[in-house]
């Protein structure tokens, strides 16, 4: 099958991308301690993968309260800003584009990670959900600990979070990023507000669908005002329900959110799609409805083979395709696809999360 669309140039709200491959955000937990500071090893990792049309970084917490896993990077201190400059320089030197993903985990956290009680729209613990630390494991592996019961956020807490996202976006631009992606997916704070099973509030931020999307809309509007709508994207996960997020109203809520995001004229909506073997597939009628509702760029990520990606592009259901683990193990993934080359596989699952060396991170080979 021809992959002409996948390899075509694309204008992302004025930002020219050399192809339609997007390197999806993947948590790798390599930030330097103490202070969750991005480092030279991370810059090497992202620079190796700059052949993607655009890279979205791993999720990056906007505050210490927003942190849910050990050794993930932040974007709220000057040291973190300076650390991220190593990455943006490395990617831009190779002609790539890169957005930073802004993150607040909400209730998906533990005081063992950040010393704080988690916060959430409602004081409901996420059942059967864990986070990881690196304390005590003899081989340096991540140790999983259950999340703790959160406290319900006050209106002041909500305002603080909005301000943290705005400051994080400003810091990202100072660090040299081409834009930011607001993480509204995968059971984290914004997603917790969107869903009726995790949001039991009775004020302006809960109850109706219109109220449950309010935090997402307010954060997005404030970020777009601060750094520009062309530099602002949002990630959503309508068909993913892990972390105790099964909500029968979520599809209608997501579509209402998409309508409001369309009014803000932001750069893109990024669908995080499940990528395990028996995962639910996003039906075409949902994609068609989203295309009718949101007029700018739509991204689909979910471990799709290139021919499936090409078909979605040809049918004009999406504009960019995100690839995660294929980029993790193949720094030159677009070129390997073009040449039908053999792909590297994950060499060691122990290095997926954490590890302070190149092993399983920057040592995956390029094609000879």
333 is catalytic: no
Cα–Cα distance between 134 and 353 in angstroms, integer?
A: 10
For residue 34, is the peptide bond before it cis, meaning its omega torsion is within 30 degrees of 0?
yes
Q: Phi first, then psi: what are they for 82, rounded to 5°?
A: -65, -40
CA 155 to chain centre: 26
Please state, in angstroms and as integers, the Cα–Cα distance from residue 134 to each residue in 140, 346, 361, following that order: 6, 21, 17
Q: Which of 46, 76, 188, 361 is catalytic?
A: 188
Torsion-angle region of residue 58: left (phi > 0), alpha (psi -120 to 50) or beta?
Answer: beta
Give the three-state DSSP class for 324: coil
Contact indicator for 133, 142 with CB cutoff of 8 Å: yes
Indicate the DSSP class of residue 63: S
Residues of 132-157 as b/e, b for ≥16 C-beta within 10 angstroms? bbbeeeeeebbeebebbebeebeeee
Torsion-angle region of residue 139: left (phi > 0), alpha (psi -120 to 50) or beta?
Answer: alpha
Contact indicator for 90, 132 with CB cutoff of 8 Å: no
> Helix crossing, 155-174 with 214-227: angle to 10°?
30
Residue listed under structure tokens 């060396």: 357
Q: Which residues are catalytic?
A: 188
């Amino acid at each position: 099958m021809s992959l002409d669309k996948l390899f075509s140039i694309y204008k992302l709200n004025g930002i020219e991308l050399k192809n339609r491959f997007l390197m999806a955000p993947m948590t790798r937990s390599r930030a330097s301690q103490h202070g969750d500071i991005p480092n030279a090893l991370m810059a090497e990792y992202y620079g190796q993968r700059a052949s993607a049309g655009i890279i979205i970084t791993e999720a990056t917490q906007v505050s210490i309260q927003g942190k849910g896993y050990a050794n993930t990077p932040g974007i709220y201190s000057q040291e973190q800003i300076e650390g991220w400059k190593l990455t943006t320089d490395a990617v831009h030197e190779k002609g790539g584009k890169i957005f930073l993903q802004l993150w607040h985990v909400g209730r998906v956290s533990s005081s063992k990670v950040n010393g704080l009680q988690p916060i959430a729209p409602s004081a409901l613990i996420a059942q059967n959900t864990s986070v990881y630390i690196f304390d005590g494991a003899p081989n340096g592996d991540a140790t999983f600990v259950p999340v703790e019961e959160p406290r319900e956020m006050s209106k002041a807490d909500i305002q603080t979070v909005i301000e943290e996202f705005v400051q994080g976006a400003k810091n990202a631009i100072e660090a040299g990023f081409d834009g930011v992606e607001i993480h509204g997916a995968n059971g984290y704070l914004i997603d917790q507000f969107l869903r009726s099973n995790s949001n039991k509030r009775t004020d302006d931020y809960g109850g109706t669908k219109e109220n449950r999307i309010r935090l997402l809309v307010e954060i997005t509007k404030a970020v777009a005002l601060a750094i520009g709508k062309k530099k602002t994207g949002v990630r959503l996960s309508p068909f993913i329900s892990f972390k105790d997020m099964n909500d029968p109203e979520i599809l209608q809520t997501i579509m209402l959110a998409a309508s409001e995001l369309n009014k803000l004229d932001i750069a893109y909506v990024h669908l995080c799609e499940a990528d395990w073997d028996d995962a639910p597939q996003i039906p075409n009628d949902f994609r068609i409805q989203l295309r009718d509702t949101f007029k700018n760029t739509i991204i689909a990520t979910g471990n799709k083979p290139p021919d499936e990606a090409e078909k979605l592009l040809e049918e004009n259901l999406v504009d960019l395709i995100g690839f995660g683990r294929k980029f993790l193990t193949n720094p030159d993934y677009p070129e390997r696809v073009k040449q039908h080359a053999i792909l590297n596989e994950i060499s060691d699952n122990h290095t997926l999360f954490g590890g302070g060396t190149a092993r399983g991170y920057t040592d995956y080979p390029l094609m000879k």
